[in-house]
Amino acid sequence: MKQLRTDRQTLNDLGVMESTYGEKTLFSLFDMTESDGGKRCLEDWVTHPISDWQMLHERQEAIRCPDFPEIRICREELDFIEFYLSQGDRPTRVTYLESVLSRAFRVFRSTPERYIIQRGTKLLENVLLELKIFADHVTELSPRLIRSMVATVLETYQATELGKMVESCGQEDGFYRTDRLDYIFRYRRNHTIADLLSIVYQLDAIRTMHRTAVAKGWCFPTFTTDGKFVLRDFYHPQVKDAVKNDWDMENGNICIFTGSNMAGKSTTLKAIASAVWLAHAGFPVPASSMVCPVFDGIFTSINLPDSLRDGRSHFYAEVLRVKEVLQQINEGNHCFVLFDELFRGTNARDAFEASVAVTEVLRGKIHSRFLISTHIIELARRLDGDDSCCFYYLESAIMDDELICNHKVKPGISESRVGYWIVKRELAGF
């Protein structure tokens, strides 16, 4: 499975697991699993997107499937099973005589360890039985990923003593059987048990994603090889009462966003980048439809801190970030890159000239897509008419001495200039 190339800066910019300004994270949108193992599975998927068309298709197919068989999942019981399996006194052998002596000892002394073993083996045995029942109800019409999991379960049961153990579940009991199960679960087949529990957790994660997609009405992206890149009715999932917008990038490899400082450029670009990120995790996205390429990497530059320790200015940090991203984009790679307000850490003239220089380099990276927001309208005008560029802006206007931002994305270049008006209004009393 091919992992998507990205970095810590991008994870932080998009708020995948942590948020800079106390906002909810992307992961929090899906954090509704029924087990801690399912949660860990979701965390792994959302923090490690993939660049594998086949795997993305299989994960999507499984998540969107409305009627694959149910499997009982209980957080408390699975937590206890994990606790039981983590006990350090693993038995390395089991004999009937040892079980008898152990039982005789317990007649005179009850130990917590024995309770953990008895309950842990019983709960784990029930989970393995649930997996067998689930597997028996999966058909050839079930999603390929589910069928692959079931094949692993059935092959494991057939190749080990776990199959016969599941068949006899509930038919016999006793201290020797408990000790033998403990030996199998925690010593002889401990890695196999971990793999089977991983399947349970993946099923929990898949079922959670399905419920989320249905409840929110989100779409599953279509991946193409022809370069088509379209979003319909997309929005940022963490913005209350967010305005839905349409956007596409079918012409050129550079998209310039213009608009006033408060029009919503950053939020809009983060919404697009978040959709691309979620799409490459195999997740549903907040839009009515999405068509996009399978990218090899995702890189963003939104919230760059000054580095007091290294003595770097914000402008120098921006330059280094651009260089760092360009080094990641090798010849032939298909990367999605977002630069929010390039070179805001210097004066307007330097920012304009530096931005022109960067776009000259980006123009040659024809296999990648670049989204750039800027309040320097002169940059957009300079590039207007260039076949490698497309242009969008966010509307804003001053009406009745009030700034009106409707957060609608429109094709073209903004002519709005409201910065001076904002300064005059806020400093009117001084």
Mapped onto helix, strand or coil, the DSSP state of residue 192 is helix
At residue 102, the pLDDT reads: 56
pLDDT on residue 34: 96
User: For residue 103, what pLDDT is reported?
Assistant: 53
Q: Which helix (H) or strand (E) holds 120?
A: helix 112-137
Task: Write the secondary structure of 58-70 as one string of H (helix), E (strand) and C (coil).
Answer: HHHHHHHCCCCCC
User: Which pLDDT value is given to residue 107?
Assistant: 44
* Residue found under tokens 């994270």: 25
Tell the residue number behind the tokens 């949660």, with chain if given.
39
Q: Is the pLDDT of residue 231 over 50?
A: yes
Provide mean pLDDT across the span 242-248.
Answer: 95
What is the mean predicted confidence (pLDDT) over 274-299? 97
On whether the CB atoms of residues 205 and 38 are closer than 8 A, the answer is yes
Tokens of 306: 């000054």
How much is the pLDDT for 306? 54
Confidence band, pLDDT 50/70/90 cuts, at residue 309: very low
Whether 271 has a pLDDT exceeding 50, the answer reads yes
pLDDT 10s digits, 363-386: 989 889 999 998 888 888 999 888
Predicted pLDDT at 312: 62
Q: What is the pLDDT of residue 171?
A: 66
Domains and CATH numbers, the chain: 31-216 (1.10.1420), 222-426 (3.40.50.300)
The pLDDT of residue 430: 72
- pTM: predicted TM-score of the whole model, two decimal places: 0.90
41: helix, strand or coil = helix
pLDDT at 1: 76
pLDDT score for 109: 44
pLDDT value of residue 93: 56
Rounded-to-integer distance, Cα 56 and Cα 54, Å: 5
Strands 369-374 vs 335-340: parallel, antiparallel or unpaired: parallel
Q: How high is the pLDDT of residue 349?
A: 85
Name the residue with higher pLDDT: 320 or 177: 320
Q: Could you tell me if 299 and 10 are in contact, meaning their C-beta atoms sit under 8 angstroms apart?
A: yes
Q: Which two tokens stand for residue 307?
A: 């580095």
Residue 346 pLDDT greater than 90, yes or no: no
| pLDDT at residue 427, as a whole number | 79
Rounded to whole angstroms, the Cα distance separating 355 from 345 reads 12
The alpha carbon torsion through 183, 187, 192, 198 (nearest 10 deg) reads: 100
CB atoms within 10 A of CB 377: 17
Average pLDDT over residues 159-183: 82
- How confident is residue 316, by pLDDT bands cut at 50, 70 and 90? confident
Q: Helix 75-85 to helix 112-137 angle, to the nearest 10 degrees? A: 120
Q: What is the DSSP string of 161-191?
A: THHHHHHTTTT---HHHHHHHHHIIIIITHH
Q: What is the pLDDT of residues 78-135, one digit of tens each?
A: 999 999 999 887 666 555 545 544 554 544 445 788 889 889 999 999 999 999 999 9
Mean pLDDT of 176-198: 91
What is the model's pLDDT at position 108?
45
pLDDT value of residue 212: 94
Q: What percentage of the chain exceeds 70 in pLDDT?
A: 88
In one-letter notation, the amino acid at residue 26 is: L
Per residue in 136-149, pLDDT (tens digit) is: 999 999 999 999 99
pLDDT of residue 97: 46
For 377-429, write each residue's pLDDT tens digit: 888 899 988 899 999 998 877 776 677 778 899 999 987 766 666 777 777 76
pLDDT at residue number 273: 97
Cα separation, 430 vs 387, whole angstroms: 48
What DSSP state is assigned to residue 312?
B
State the DSSP H helix or E strand holding residue 367, giving kind and residue range, or none if neither: none
**Does 193 have pLDDT greater than 90?**
yes
C-alpha dihedral, 17 to 303 to 407 to 23, nearest 10°:
30
179 has pLDDT over 90? no
Q: Which residue has the higher pLDDT, 251 or 2?
A: 2
